[in-house]
């Protein structure tokens, strides 16, 4: 099983890179931000004393109003004592904190649920329960995490009895729900009924027992289930290594070993260890066996090994590099989303079953393009290799929470029923930032078709580290431009030594040097460049050399910018690579807000004062780019003037650009000229009922490079959030320029986007 995106590919990230990410200021992965303005003394009076007294008194009279006046209704506590951390064992409470922070990040990323992590420094069950039981007033739900069995069973049971909010141990139930969804579909494909299916479960820990309990609740007959642990079959009458949870599922059987138990069985669930299931065992199973080998990071048996014995086997694992990943992130964010939204007092069996059934149904639906794009090159459709939805399916947020909410209402545990579930589903679709899904899809596309990307500044430590990370992520082959001895010294200093899959090219000594000189001279000879000028450029300018590699087909894309200003890099690249025919080249910066908002700003790179025709072209290009990143474009052409007030000749260019867009009959919303506050604030835009924008603009076309650049560099430093770019759009070849203050991760991301650009040509 996998939690979030922990799989073989992400595990290839270096320890140094992971530590650097977690240590970058501010340390960790979480922070708090204010949701209300606290600028003036009046703001403070409303938010705190004396204004805060009013909601306090209302909540005192009716505690349910805490859901209306505080964060309680969207806040989950993620709690652990660190006794079973991610398969690493008992690391203790404080060492579990990075995982708990990560869990909160997944809650937010996939279901817009907020969270606070709490690490409890005790292994005593009673002390742990007493530490948690009194937290109910502050939270809408409790997610227990990484607590070893059997203590986790006792803790969850006690807390569910003592608390009136959902308590959910994801290591148990998350795996069970996703695995159950896959089993529903596997049975459907093999013509089996769940109640008649014979299941063998290897492993008797928290997740395994939760799987057995859920499947029995869904109708699987107890006499058809055999549970095994390290000592063999859990059978009635066994005394060694037993506890009350194993005893509850002890089978009446003559089988004593896993091999004996598997004879004629339909399904194998593995929650144990690598190699626990052998090919000989698979051969003893029934025809069309169903094998869920969920040990992490290495499954009990690989799909290749299983299919060598049974070609028609349906197989799931916990890894994303195989089809049918049993990934907990398909469950817990959406289960809590639905439970919180109806203010459920618990997460019960009907809610878990509803989540499993909704997941199973979603996998049978036609798969949208964005899911295909994130599927590592496989065309997905319901079948043996697609029985569980992809973790990046944007429909999950609108499918699972409504199903969970309905089950909560039907089973009587919802304290705030939702009258219109269809509208609720539509509202959920708008909660998430589409940019994150689109970027994930882009990166999966690149992994599916890796590219050769040139890192022009190959001697810089950051660039070397980025190249290694690019290779480790599976994006393709990094090509470093630099002197071999210096690059190797950097690798040695980083403790990396010689690394396969990374190329180093010395521009002056390269065997392709003469080819690039001839190519460049052909392009520049009528622009005042002599052959020896081109020779010098190729020998001495790494941007020129890198661009020549891309332009002549020796590489797919390039990235530069860490040591030179964007203007210098553009000039270098422009000697070799031109705008694509019929396109305008420009810079597009994506600003990501703290709460997932996304705004595109153009042109942040090239055109100092574009004319009306260029502004119209930039608007069209920006709209195309926004759509590729998952956003429906709403373009505002900005000015100091709003629809003629005040009228000034500087605003006329924007007005002309709007007229040009009118004549081209483009297929996206646009309007102008307008000031940015009108473009972004509905209340101000309402003063202009004729405005064509139906919502806040998400693409801001600036009147000049100066205003675009200042805005894109200043805004994130004042208001938080982050930026991507500027992205170089519209060139005939794939090239990207990173900001000079880029981190290693930002360089890798830009290199990946350059590779994606190359794949689109």
Q: Which residues are catalytic?
A: 48, 103
For 385, counting Cβ atoms within 10 Å of its Cβ (0-12 exposed, 13-18 middle, 19+ buried), the class is middle
Contact by Cβ (8 Å): 290, 271: no
Cis, peptide link before residue 603, omega less than 30° from 0: yes
In sequence order, which residues have a C-beta less than 8 Å from that of residue 612 and are 6 or more positions away? 653, 654, 656, 657, 659, 660
Nearest to 393 by CA among 413, 414, 371: 371
Contacts 24+ apart (CB under 8 A), 363-371: 363/181, 363/185, 363/387, 363/388, 363/389, 364/185, 365/395, 367/393, 368/393, 368/394, 368/395, 370/394, 370/437, 370/438, 370/441, 370/630, 371/441
Half-sphere exposure of 662 (CA within 13 A, CB side): 9
Q: C-alpha distances in angstroms, 249 versus 190, 296, 560?
A: 26, 24, 61
Cis, peptide link before residue 150, omega less than 30° from 0: yes
Count CB neighbours of 180 within 10 A: 27
Nearest to 613 by CA among 561, 545, 659: 659
Half-sphere exposure of 371 (CA within 13 A, CB side): 20
Sole residue written with tokens 């141990």: 169
Q: In the structure encoding, which two tokens stand for residue 219, read together?
A: 């109708």
Beta strands in 5-87 (DSSP E): 75-80
Q: What is the spatial distance between Cα 269 and Cα 348, in angstroms, rounded to a whole number? A: 23
Contact by Cβ (8 Å): 557, 755: yes
Q: Angle at the Cα of 487 (from 482 to 493), degrees rounded to 5?
A: 160
Q: What is the spatial distance between Cα 398 and Cα 394, in angstroms, rounded to a whole number? A: 8
Contact by Cβ (8 Å): 204, 229: yes
In sequence order, which residues have a C-beta less than 8 Å from that of residue 377 and are 6 or more positions away? 445, 448, 449
Q: C-alpha distances in angstroms, 353 versus 213, 314, 360?
A: 11, 22, 11
Half-sphere exposure of 473 (CA within 13 A, CB side): 24
For 726, counting Cβ atoms within 10 Å of its Cβ (0-12 exposed, 13-18 middle, 19+ buried), the class is buried
Count CB neighbours of 200 within 10 A: 26
Q: In the structure encoding, which two tokens stand for residue 625, read together?
A: 């780019």
Residue 116: enclosing H or E segment and its boundaries?
A: strand 114-119
DSSP letter at 328 equals G
């Amino acid at each position: 099983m996998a939690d979030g995106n922990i799989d073989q590919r992400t595990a290839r990230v270096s320890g140094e890179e992971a530590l650097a990410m977690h240590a970058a200021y501010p340390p960790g992965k979480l922070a708090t931000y204010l949701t209300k303005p606290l600028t003036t003394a009046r703001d403070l009076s409303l938010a705190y004393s004396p204004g805060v007294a009013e909601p306090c008194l209302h909540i005192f009279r009716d505690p349910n109003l805490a859901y209306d006046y505080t964060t309680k209704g969207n806040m989950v506590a993620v709690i652990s004592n660190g006794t079973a951390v991610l398969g690493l064992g008992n690391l203790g409470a404080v060492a579990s904190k990075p995982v708990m922070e990560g869990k909160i990040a997944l809650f937010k990323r996939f279901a817009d649920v907020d969270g606070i992590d709490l690490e409890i420094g005790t292994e005593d069950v009673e002390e742990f329960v007493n530490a948690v039981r009194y937290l109910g007033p502050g939270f809408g739900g409790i997610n227990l995490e990484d607590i070893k069995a059997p203590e986790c069973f006792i803790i969850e049971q006690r807390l569910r009895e003592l608390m009136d909010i959902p308590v959910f141990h994801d290591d148990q139930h998350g795996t069970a729900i996703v695995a159950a969804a896959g089993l529903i579909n596997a049975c459907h494909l093999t013509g089996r009924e769940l109640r008649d299916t014979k299941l063998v479960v290897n492993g008797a820990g928290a997740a395994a027992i939760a799987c057995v309990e859920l499947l029995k609740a869904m109708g699987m007959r107890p006499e058809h289930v055999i549970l095994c642990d390290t000592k063999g079959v859990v059978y009635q009458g066994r005394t060694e290594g037993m506890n009350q949870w194993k005893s509850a599922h002890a089978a009446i059987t003559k089988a004593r070993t896993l091999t004996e138990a598997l004879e004629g069985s339909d399904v194998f669930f593995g929650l144990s260890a690598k190699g626990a299931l052998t090919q000989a065992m698979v051969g003893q199973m029934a025809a069309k066996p169903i094998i869920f080998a969920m040990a992490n990071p290495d499954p009990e048996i690989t799909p290749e090994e299983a299919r060598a014995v049974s070609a028609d086997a349906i197989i799931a694992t916990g890894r994303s590099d195989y089809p049918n990943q049993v990934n907990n992130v398909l469950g817990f964010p959406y289960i809590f989303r639905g439970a919180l939204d109806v203010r459920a007092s618990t997460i019960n069996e009907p809610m878990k079953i509803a989540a499993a059934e909704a997941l199973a149904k979603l996998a049978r639906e036609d798969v949208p393009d964005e899911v295909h794009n994130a599927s590592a090159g496989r065309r997905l459709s319901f079948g043996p290799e697609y029985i569980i939805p992809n973790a990046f399916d944007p429909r999950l947020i609108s499918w699972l929470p409504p199903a969970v909410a309905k089950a909560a209402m039907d089973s009587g545990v919802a304290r705030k029923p939702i009258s219109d579930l269809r509208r609720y589903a539509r509202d959920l679709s708008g909660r998430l930032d589409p940019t994150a899904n689109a970027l994930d899809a882009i990166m999966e596309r690149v992994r599916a078709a890796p590219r050769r990307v040139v890192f022009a500044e190959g001697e810089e430590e950051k660039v070397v580290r980025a190249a290694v990370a690019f290779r480790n992520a599976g994006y393709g082959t990094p090509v470093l431009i630099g002197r071999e001895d210096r690059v190797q010294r950097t690798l040695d200093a980083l403790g990396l030594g010689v690394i396969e899959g990374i190329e180093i090219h010395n521009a002056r000594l390269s065997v392709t040097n003469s080819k690039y000189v001839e190519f460049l001279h052909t392009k520049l000879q009528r622009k005042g460049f002599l052959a020896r000028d081109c020779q010098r450029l190729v020998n001495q300018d790494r941007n020129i050399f890198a661009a020549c590699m891309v332009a002549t087909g020796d590489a797919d894309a390039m990235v530069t910018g860490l040591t030179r200003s964007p203007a210098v890099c553009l000039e270098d690249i422009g000697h070799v690579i031109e705008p694509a025919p019929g396109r305008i080249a420009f810079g597009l910066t994506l600003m990501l807000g703290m709460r997932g908002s996304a705004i595109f700003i153009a042109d942040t790179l090239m055109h100092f004062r574009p004319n009306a025709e260029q502004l119209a072209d930039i608007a069209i290009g920006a709209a195309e780019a926004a759509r590729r990143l998952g956003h429906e474009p709403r373009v505002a052409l900005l000015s100091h003037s709003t629809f003629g007030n005040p009228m000034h000749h500087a605003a006329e260019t924007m007005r002309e650009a709007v007229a040009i867009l009118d004549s081209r009959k483009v297929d996206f919303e646009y309007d102008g000229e307008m000031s940015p506050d009108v473009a972004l604030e509905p209340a101000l835009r309402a003063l202009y009922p004729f405005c064509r924008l139906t919502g806040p603009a998400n693409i801001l076309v600036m009147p000049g490079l100066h205003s675009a650049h200042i805005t894109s560099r200043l805004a994130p430093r004042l208001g938080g959030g982050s930026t991507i770019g500027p992205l170089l759009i519209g060139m005939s070849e794939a090239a990207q320029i990173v900001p000079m203050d880029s981190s290693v991760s930002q360089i890798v991301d830009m290199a990946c986007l350059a590779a994606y650009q190359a794949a689109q040509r």
